[in-house]
Amino acid sequence: MHSQLSQRIAVVTGGSSGIGLATVRLLLAEGAKVAFCGRDHDRLATAEQQLKQAFPQADLLALSCDVLNEEQVHHFAQQVQQHFGGVDVLINNAGQGFVAHFDDTPSERWLLEAQLKLFGVIYPVQAFMSALQASDIASITCVNSLLALQPEPHMIATSAARAALLNMTLTLAHELAPKNIRVNSILLGMVDSGQWRRRYAERSDPQQSWASWSSELAQRRGIPLGRLGQPEEAAQALLFLASPLAAFTTGAALDVSGGYNRHL
């Protein structure tokens, strides 16, 4: 992509699987130096091993960190600073959805969804703020969901939290612009993930292929492109917004949903 991120320093939260891992791979392929974190120690170790095999010359740092633990996040930031000496790019990628209608959503789940979607961004932004201010290409890019603008009744708590995150990141974009830090988001639709793979494993027809099953799912949901998105496609959108290629873009929310959006 020639993203102008070669030898630049990028941080990816939730980078041990899915979109986060695809983003780390893409950044390394672009020549960036990358630090990433995850909560699952085994998954983190596996991802680190795979990445080092694929990019043996890369400057890579993998650390265990729960982004909802403020102390751990600040420790992660300190280790990144000690290893790399700075940060140019922060990509926030954390959080799954909770499937339930209003009457089925426990009170504590509303709080948990808000905590994960908001503080999963707030803590990393706070921890890496001073390092980002020292960069001449600083950017913060957040993985969000189309639910922020197009809520689903069966994911009411997640939809509300996603909307709050979109509101917060737009405000951050305005607040941090004078500090030369850009803030943008991507809004995901349905992306190939462990969640959908687990549902596929429970399919009624054991002979049906993943391609056929996921295509039927996309058609039932009304995705115009007729398929689920790939983690790499979300990663490409993140890379663009995070890089100097989007130097005059801040406060944007890029739709990455295959046309699933229903709004203007």
Tell me: pLDDT of 22 over 70. Answer: yes
Please, what is the average pLDDT of the chain? 95
Token readout for 21 is: 């891992």
The answer on 40 and 91 residing in a single domain is yes
The answer on 135 and 55 residing in a single domain is yes
Confidence of residue 241 (pLDDT cuts 50, 70, 90): very high
Tell me: pLDDT of 95 over 80. Answer: no
Token readout for 252 is: 């944007």
The answer on 134 and 85 residing in a single domain is yes
Q: Considering its fold, how many domains does the chain have in total?
A: 2
Nearest C-alpha neighbor of 221 from the set 186, 191, 252, 201: 191
Per-residue confidence (pLDDT) for residue 20, from 0 to 100:
96
Instruction: Quote the domain boundaries for residue 214.
Output: 193-228
Instruction: Specify if 74 maps to a domain.
Output: yes
Instruction: Specify if 158 maps to a domain.
Output: yes
Q: What digits encode the pLDDT tens for the residues 201-224?
A: 888 888 899 899 999 999 999 999
Look at residue 9 and give its three-state secondary structure.
strand
Instruction: Specify if 261 maps to a domain.
Output: no
Q: What digits encode the pLDDT tens for the residues 253-264?
A: 999 999 999 887
The answer on 98 and 199 residing in a single domain is no
The answer on 134 and 241 residing in a single domain is yes
Helix axes 210-221, 194-201, angle to 10 degrees: 110
CA dihedral 129, 163, 160, 145 (to 10 degrees): -90
The answer on 177 and 106 residing in a single domain is yes
The answer on 211 and 151 residing in a single domain is no
Amino acid at 230: Q
Token readout for 106 is: 């426990």
Nearest C-alpha neighbor of 98 from the set 154, 39, 145: 154
Gap between the Cα atoms of 15 and 91, Å rounded: 9
Q: Taking the model in full, what pTM does it have?
A: 0.95
The answer on 155 and 69 residing in a single domain is yes
